[in-house]
Structure 1
Amino acid sequence: MTDHHAHMRHALQLASRGLGRVWPNPAVGCVLLNEGRIVGRGWTQVGGRPHAERMALDQAGGLARGATAYVTLEPCAHHGKTPPCANGLSEAGVSHVFSAVTDPDPRVAGKGHAMLRAAGVVVDEGLCAEDAQILNRGFFKRVTQGLPLVTLKLATTLDGKIATGTGESRWITGAFARRAVHLMRMTHDAVMVGSGTVLADDPDLTVRDMGPVHQPVRVVVDSGLRTCPKGRLGQTARQNPVWILHAAGADGHDWAAAEAELLAVPLRAGHLDLRAGLAALANKGVTRVFCEGGAGLASALIAAGLVDDLVTFTAGAVIGAEGLPAVGALGLAALVDAPRLRLVSQMAVGGDVQTNWRFD
C-alpha cells in the first residue's frame, strides 16, 4: 500500500531547500512515483526557475507516463518564463496528482487543478496541507497581505539582556547558537537590522562558514541615513546587496555611492512607518525577513503587530539591571495588554537554549 503522506513529506523536505533562494517564487517540491518506485524528484531552483515539477519530469523522462505526482503547491497555470506546470504534468502522461495546498496567487488559485482535471488527470487536494502552509507562509503572506513573513531573533542572557551597560555583547551565546543563526539567515530572503545595531556592531550580516551559498539581501532601517557606508556593509554592497529603508529627503551619508539600494519610506509619528517599509520589501519580491535587532527595532515591530515568529537564544548568564534589554519600551500600562505568543518548540543548542515562538 502506497504511503501517500510519506511521499508528500519527502516532497516537502525537497521544497525546504529553496527557502531563501527562490523569492519571489514559492519553494515547491515534487516527487514522481511509478509502480512504487521514485522515478523523478525536484525542487524550485535558485531564482525560481526551473520549477520543481519541471525538474522532476525531466529526471523521469518517459517513466513519467502513468506516474503519480506529489506536489507541495498547486501546479502553476499561467505562462511566464516557462509554460504552466499543470500542462507539463498532463502532457508527460502523469495520471494522478496529489497537491498539498491551493496556490493563492490569482494567476493560479485553483486554475492549475482545473487544468489537470480537464486533461483527465486525477487530482487529490489537501495532503499534508498544514505542513505545506507553514513551509510557504512567507509566500502566502506576500500574496494575500502584501507583506513578508517576519522572524525576530533575540540572543539574550537569562535576565533578558543583550549587552552590558557599556554595550559589550560579543559573545553572549556560544558558537553553536551563532551557527544556528547563520542557518536561519540562509533560509530567509533578507536579514534586517536597525541603524543602532550597525553603528554599535558594524555587522556583516552574511551567511558564513557554510560553503558557497546564496546570500540574503541585507536591509538597514535607517531613517536619517546616519550609518556610514565605509563599514562592512558598505564595503561589500557590490558583492552582496544592501538595501536602506530611509525617510524621504534624508541627507545623511551617501549609500548610493556604495551601490546600496535606497528605498524611501514615509514617516509615522516621527519614525519610519515599518509597515510601509516591509510593504516596500514585499513589492520587490521579498517573502521572508529575518530581523536581528536591535532593541528599538524589535519593540517597534512588535508594537506594530508586524512580527510573525520569535526565535530566542538564551545563554546561561546574568548581567543585571544595568544591562541593555532585548526589547525597547512598548508603552504597556497593564499586563493584559502584553503581546502573547504560542510556544512552538524548544531545544538545547550547545550550552544555550533555543525557543521558537509564534504570534497568532
Structure 2
Amino acid sequence: MSAIVEILVNEKLVDEQRIEQAMGLAIAAASRARRLSPPNPWVGAVVLSASGEVVGSGSTQAPGGSHAEVAALLEAGELARDGVLVVTLEPCNHQGRTPACTEQIIAAGISRVVVAIEDPDPLVAGSGIERLRSAGLQVSLGTRAAEVRDQLAPYLRQRVTGRAFCVVKTAMSLDARSVARDGTSQWITGPEARADAHNVRADSQAVIIGAGTALADSPSLNARDATPPATRQPARVLLDARGRVPATGPLFDQSIAATVVFTTDSADPGAIKAWREAGAVVEFVETQGSGVHLEQVLQVLSEKYGVLQAMVEGGAAMHAAFIEASLVDRLVAYVAPTFLGRDGRLAFDLDGPSTVMDASKWRITNTMLVGSDIRITLDPIVVAEELS
C-alpha cells in the first residue's frame, strides 16, 4: 500500500469513527429528553465542525421548543458552516409549532447530514432527507440505527399503528404468582424494583388500571421515586365499563395528576356524573366482552391525548386481556426470589394455547438485577422483528 493510499484510508477510518462517536453522543443527548419531549420524539443531535471537532449538541425540548437539530446548530453557531450534523431521527420538513428543521440546517451551511433512521410520521416519511439532498447536502442513513430504533420504539410503534405503545408491568414470585393465598401483594419485590418501576411510569404518558385494582388498592399512580424526577406526571387512566369505582381517593385527586376514565354506554349514570364532578375526563368506547374495548382505549390515548407510551399496571385479568388481544408491545416483569405456592394467584390469568406449538413467542431483550430481584424485559416476536 502506497503512503498516499494509506493516509487516505486512515483519514476515512478516523472520519467514520468520529461519526460513530458523534452518533453515540447524540443518542445520549436524546435519552435526556425522554421525559420532556412527548408527544414529540426524543431526538439527539451533534454538530461536527469542518475539522471534525464537536462544536454543538442538543436534544428535543418540551413541545413548542427547539428540535434537537436546531438546538445543536444554535450552540455551534458559525462553526457549523461546512460541518456535519449527526442526528438520531430524520429532520422534519414541515411547519408545525416550530419551523422546518431542514430549512434551518440548509441555512446554517451544513455540508453533510448523518441520520440514524427515517421518521415514519406521514408528515416526514423521507421528505426531510429528500429536501436536504435536493439542496445539495450529502445525506447518509443507518449509523447505529438498531440502537436508535430501540430508543425510539414507543414513538415508532405509535406512528405506525396509530395507538399508544403498550407496556405491561408486573411483579411476581418465582412460581409466577402476584398475590398470596390471603390476598396480599405488597410487597412481593424489594424497594429497588419498586423504584425502578416508577422510572417506567415516568417514561410513560399514561398509566392504566382496571376497576378491580382501583377498588383493591386505591392507588395514586404517580411517578414518585423516579431518577431523574418525572418532568410531568403521567395521566391516570381507569378502565371501568360499568361504573363500579367511586370518585374518591387519590385516583381522583387532580392535584396529583389528571384522571381519564374509559367506560361504556352501559355504565351507571350516577358514577359518570360523579367522575366528572371530581374533575376526571370521561371517554366512551365500545364494549369488549365484559369490559371496555382495549384497542380503542390505546387509539384514543394516542390520537386525543398524545400518549406515546401507556403503562398497564392492572391485575392478572387485565394483563391477560391485553396479551390475548395482541396489544402488548413490551412486557416488564420484576421477579422476586420467593415462592407463593399453588394457592397464590397467577400473574397472568390466561386461557393459554392447546399445544406448545401454538404458544405466543416472545424475545427477551434485557435482564437486569435490581436489588434482590430480577427485571426481565420482553417484546413479542412480531414487534421485535418490526422494530429491528
2:93 corresponds to: 77
State which of 27, 50, 59 in structure 2 corresponds to 1:12. Answer: 27
The structure with more helix, counted as a fraction of residues: 2
RMSD: 1.6
Q: Verify the 8 A CA contact 1:228 1:234 in the aligned structure 2.
A: no
State which of 21, 41, 65 in structure 2 corresponds to 1:26. Answer: 41
Please say if 1:257 is aligned against 2:286. Answer: no
Shift of 1:317: 1.2
Q: Verify the 8 A CA contact 1:74 1:100 in the aligned structure 2.
A: yes
Amino acid at match of 1:157: S
TM-score between both structures, scaled by the size of structure 1: 0.95
Shift of 1:114: 1.4
The ranges of structure 1 where at least 4 consecutive aligned residues each deviate by more than 6 angstroms after the TM superposition are none
Q: Determine the C-alpha separation between the residues in 1 that align with 2:378 and 2:307.
A: 22
Please say if 1:132 is aligned against 2:132. Answer: no
Shift of 1:352: 0.6
Shift of 1:331: 4.9
Q: Determine the C-alpha separation between the residues in 1 that align with 2:296 and 2:315.
A: 19
Shift of 1:48: 5.8
Q: Verify the 8 A CA contact 2:352 2:359 in the aligned structure 1.
A: no
Please say if 1:203 is aligned against 2:242. Answer: no
1:293 corresponds to: 314
Which of these two proteins has the greater Rg computed from alpha carbons? 2
The percentage of aligned residue pairs carrying the same residue is 37
1:341 corresponds to: 362
Gaps of 5+ in 2: 1-13, 382-388
Amino acid at match of 2:114: F
Please say if 1:247 is aligned against 2:264. Answer: yes
Q: Determine the C-alpha separation between the residues in 2 that align with 1:293 and 1:12.
A: 32
Range moving further from structure 2, 169-178 or 330-339: 330-339
Amino acid at match of 2:213: T
Shift of 1:29: 0.8
Q: Verify the 8 A CA contact 2:214 2:245 in the aligned structure 1.
A: yes
Q: How does 1:65-144 map to 2 (within 5 A)?
A: 65-144=81-160
Q: Verify the 8 A CA contact 1:22 1:48 in the aligned structure 2.
A: no
Q: Determine the C-alpha separation between the residues in 2 that align with 1:230 and 1:257.
A: 11
Q: Determine the C-alpha separation between the residues in 1 that align with 2:43 and 2:178.
A: 37
Cα distance change on mapping 1:179 and 1:48 into 2, 3 Å: farther
Shift of 1:324: 1.4
Gaps of 5+ in 1: none
2:348 corresponds to: 327
Cα distance change on mapping 1:22 and 1:212 into 2, 3 Å: closer
Shift of 1:212: 6.0
Please say if 1:150 is aligned against 2:166. Answer: yes
Q: Determine the C-alpha separation between the residues in 1 that align with 2:36 and 2:212.
A: 28
Q: Determine the C-alpha separation between the residues in 2 that align with 1:348 and 1:21.
A: 27
Q: Determine the C-alpha separation between the residues in 2 that align with 1:278 and 1:191.
A: 11
Q: Verify the 8 A CA contact 1:77 1:85 in the aligned structure 2.
A: yes
Q: Determine the C-alpha separation between the residues in 2 that align with 1:215 and 1:136.
A: 20
What is the aligned length?
359
TM-score between both structures, scaled by the size of structure 2: 0.88
Residues 308-343 of structure 1 show CA distances to partners (whole Å, capped at 9, x for unaligned) of 111111111111111111111325333333222111
Amino acid at match of 1:109: A
Q: Determine the C-alpha separation between the residues in 1 that align with 2:247 and 2:126.
A: 47
Q: Verify the 8 A CA contact 1:207 1:213 in the aligned structure 2.
A: no
